[in-house]
Structure 1
Amino acid sequence: MNTSFPIRLPALPPPPAALRTLIARLPIRPPSLLLAAALNRVLRPRLPADAALELADHTVEIEVRDFGLRCRLALRDGRFRSAPDHGPVALRIVAEAASYLRLLRGDDDADRLFFERALVMEGDTEYGLLLKNTLDAIGPLLHRPA
């Protein structure tokens, strides 16, 4: 069935406070390694070479607000890699899990989520626009099963 409107996911209940507190205390490296591996599999093969060169060697921090989860990544030597939990970041992106899922599936775009304040981007504006425009050009990274 083809619809002309995005399918909205029901709001996810927030995780229990104790779980969020526990997740927020965990080291940043394990989730960063997992996210880097996922991006190397799903995004990296679709990333144009010129964009990869422009995006390289900048640290991006991604926070999943409702879970207290943070990841730091950088594109180095042609691959996404975890970045240390110290030092400056070029860009910091904060949203709830459902907003990231809507972005990955193409249900919403970053502009809409940004203006609805469901997505916050802080840091190097030029780098942020480059990243956003690159991801927009690639399209959804997750697809619904047929």
Structure 2
Amino acid sequence: MLPRPPLGPIRALLLPLLNQRLAAPLRDGELDFLEGRSVSIAVRELPLPIKLGLSEGRLWLDWADASVDARLSGDARALLQMALGSADGDALFFQRRLAMEGDTELAMELKSLLGRYPLLPAPPFSLPGLGTV
């Protein structure tokens, strides 16, 4: 197993993005399903998944371990399409490009939330192969 790199730079990149893009749903209680729980998010092409959780109304990230309640994994292209809002998570699941394990209800709620609130703005130029599915 590879040694884990420092998590600080990953947190510095991802937490502000998550807090900005999910501010309204967090404020409106749409992330309450995640309180005290965690979901592993794994890019299949990368060796180290992260876990996302909510504690006392605040999002947090850590390296994933066996303690996660659910796992959401997919190929890099599928997860990028979800982050851009250019692909439907259900379609990706039925195409077997997105997988859920553990508490699948929890993973499905997170997948649905990410479908409603894309994490990345649409780029001002075309990205070949990242259109809708």
Q: TM-score, normalised by structure 2?
A: 0.74
Q: 1:104 aligns with which of 73, 83, 95?
A: 83
| 8 Å Cα contact 1:59-1:83 kept in structure 2 | no
CA apart distance, 1:73: 1.7
CA apart distance, 1:103: 0.7
Equivalent residue, structure 2, for 1:8? none
Between structure 1 and structure 2, the one with the greater Rg is 1
Q: Please identify which structure carries the higher helix content.
A: 1
The residue type equivalent to 1:141 in the other structure is L
Equivalent residue, structure 2, for 1:51? 30
CA apart distance, 1:27: 4.3
CA apart distance, 1:36: 3.1
Percent same amino acid at aligned positions?
A: 34
Q: 2:40 aligns with which of 61, 64, 84?
A: 61
Aligned-residue CA RMSD in angstroms? 2.5
Q: Deviations over 1:98-143 (max 9, x none)?
A: 111111112211111111111111111221232233333x342322
Equivalent residue, structure 2, for 1:80? 59
Q: TM-score, normalised by structure 1?
A: 0.69
Q: Whole-Å Cα distance in 1 between the matches of residues 15 and 52 of structure 2?
A: 7
Length, aligned pairs only: 122
Equivalent residue, structure 1, for 2:112? 133
Q: Whole-Å Cα distance in 2 between the matches of residues 58 and 94 of structure 1?
A: 17
Q: Whole-Å Cα distance in 1 between the matches of residues 118 and 95 of structure 2?
A: 20
Equivalent residue, structure 2, for 1:26? 4
Structure 2: unaligned runs, 5 residues or longer: 126-133
Q: Whole-Å Cα distance in 1 between the matches of residues 5 and 91 of structure 2?
A: 32
The residue type equivalent to 1:144 in the other structure is P
